[in-house]
């Protein structure tokens, strides 16, 4: 495998909400099949950056982007790029799990159905595979018709992961996926992330530094819309280069 190729590259990314600038000149290169964590205090722009990677920011009125976001050398903000197709390849897990008020099966099958897959057997396969990959299969396969809302918080989040996996993305974006969960559910999710990076490139936003240290290969530290430091996690947490990074990691602010 060519370890020098980057999956996602951001070059001098500026983002404005109207007149307010939320991201300043962010340049990061994200490696494939690795977990990259984005950390920083509230409002530092990490979630905004994450959402730029699947163009979910487009949904907000008055958002303006300058700079480049390249995935496999394709500029995703190019006028010729179809946003809907992009989002099939870059999946997203949200902070608060948001399963549809449908059955477990229909939640996971939602994506494939949208892509035109309707044969029962194929859907069954995809649903099972996705649920296995998100470590939820054993807990729900007795009744896939059960309403998704009847699951526990942690299970719902894993369902959301299964749902995202069902469309077979290449990248998974996770916006504080475990922040609303208890420690045991959190641990399950973190274990899952470790498994998932075999097949997916994962970018995860977290406000929990210990989680970042546990889970990620690379970490990017954001502050006030700017990228302060970006390095291998082990290095960042043991010998950070910038003073600000050190202060944040040791809990002196944020």
Partner 1 sequence: MLTAKASEPSVRSKVDKTEAEGVRLPALSTKSFANPVHPGSPVRRFIKADLAKRFRLDEFLAEKLITLVAFISLATIVMIFVFVFREAAPIFSGKSVVEATTTQTEPMETYGDEYVGKSGGAANSQNQNFISVETAGAEGKASLSNLLSTTWQPVSSQPKYGIVPLVVGSLKVTLLAILFAAPIAVLAALFTSSFAPKWAKEILKPAIEVLAGFPSVVIGFFTLVTLATLLQDFFGYQFRLNAFVGGAAMSLAVIPIVYTVAEDALAAVPRYMSEASLALGATKWQTAFFVTLPAATPGVFAALLLGFGRAFGETMIVLMATGNAALLSLNFLEPVRTISATIGAEMAEVVFGDTHYTVLYFLGAILFVFTFTLNVVAEVFVRQRLLKRFRGG
Partner 2 sequence: MKLRRKLLGSSIVTLTALAAFTIIGVVAFVMGTIVLGGMGTLSWEFLTSSPTEGMTAGGIFPAIAGTALLVIIMSIAGVPVGTVTAIYLSEYASQKSILARSIRFAVNTLAGVPAIVFGLFGLGFFVQFVGTGMDRFFSGGAELQWAQPNLLWASLTMALLTLPVVIVSVEEAIKTVPQDLRAASLALGATKWQTIWKVVLPNSATGILTGGILAVSRGAGEVAPILFTGAAYFLPHLPGGLSDQFMELGYHVYIMSTQSTNVDATRGIQYATTLVLLLLTFMLNFSAIFLRSRIRARQLQ
- Which residues are near partner 2 by CB under 8 A? 54, 56, 59, 61, 84-89, 91-92, 94, 96, 98-101, 110-111, 114-115, 160, 163-164, 167
Nearest to 231 by CA among 243, 221, 222: 221
**Choices 58-66, 94-102, 116-124, 194-202 (CB under 8 A): range interacting with partner 1:** 194-202
Site string for partner 1, 138-177 (x = CB under 8 A): --------------------------------x-------
Among partner 1, partner 2, none, partner that 249 touches (CB below 5 to 8 angstroms by kind): partner 1
Q: Is residue 114 a contact residue for partner 1 (CB under 8 A)?
A: no
Nearest to 220 by CA among 2, 16, 30: 30
Q: At what angle do helices 153-165 and 104-114 cross, to 10 degrees?
A: 20
DSSP codes of every residue in 134-190: TT-HHHHTT-TTSBGGGS-HHHHHHHHHHHHHTT--SEEEEESTTTTS-HHHHHHHH
Q: Least distance in Å: CB of 87 to partner 2? A: 4
Among partner 2, partner 1, none, partner that 59 touches (CB below 5 to 8 angstroms by kind): partner 2
CA 214 to chain CA centroid, Å, is: 16
Q: Is residue 81 a contact residue for partner 1 (CB under 8 A)?
A: yes
């Amino acid at each position: 495998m060519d370890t020098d190729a980057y999956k996602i590259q951001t070059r001098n990314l500026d983002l404005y909400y109207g007149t307010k600038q939320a991201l300043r000149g962010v340049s990061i290169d994200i490696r494939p099949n690795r977990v990259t964590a984005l950390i920083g205090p509230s409002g530092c722009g990490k979630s905004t950056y994450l959402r730029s990677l699947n163009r979910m920011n487009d949904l907000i009125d008055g958002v303006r982007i300058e700079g480049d976001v390249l995935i496999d050398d394709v500029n995703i903000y190019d006028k010729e790029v179809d946003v809907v197709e992009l989002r099939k390849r870059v999946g997203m897990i949200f902070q608060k799990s948001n399963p549809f008020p449908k059955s477990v099966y229909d939640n996971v099958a939602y994506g494939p159905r949208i892509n035109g897959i309707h044969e029962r057997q194929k859907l069954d396969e995809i649903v099972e595979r996705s649920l296995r990959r998100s470590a939820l299969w054993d807990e729900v396969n007795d009744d896939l018709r059960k309403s998704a809302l009847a699951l526990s918080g942690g299970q719902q989040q894993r369902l959301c992961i299964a749902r995202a996996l069902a469309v077979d993305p290449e990248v998974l974006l996770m916006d504080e996926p475990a922040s609303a969960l208890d420690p045991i559910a959190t641990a399950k999710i973190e274990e899952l992330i470790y498994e998932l990076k075999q097949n997916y490139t994962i970018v995860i936003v977290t406000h929990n530094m210990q989680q970042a240290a546990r889970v990620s290969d690379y970490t990017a530290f954001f502050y006030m819309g700017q990228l302060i430091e970006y390095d291998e996690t082990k290095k960042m947490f043991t010998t950070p280069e910038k003073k600000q990074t050190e202060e944040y990691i040791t809990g002196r602010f944020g």
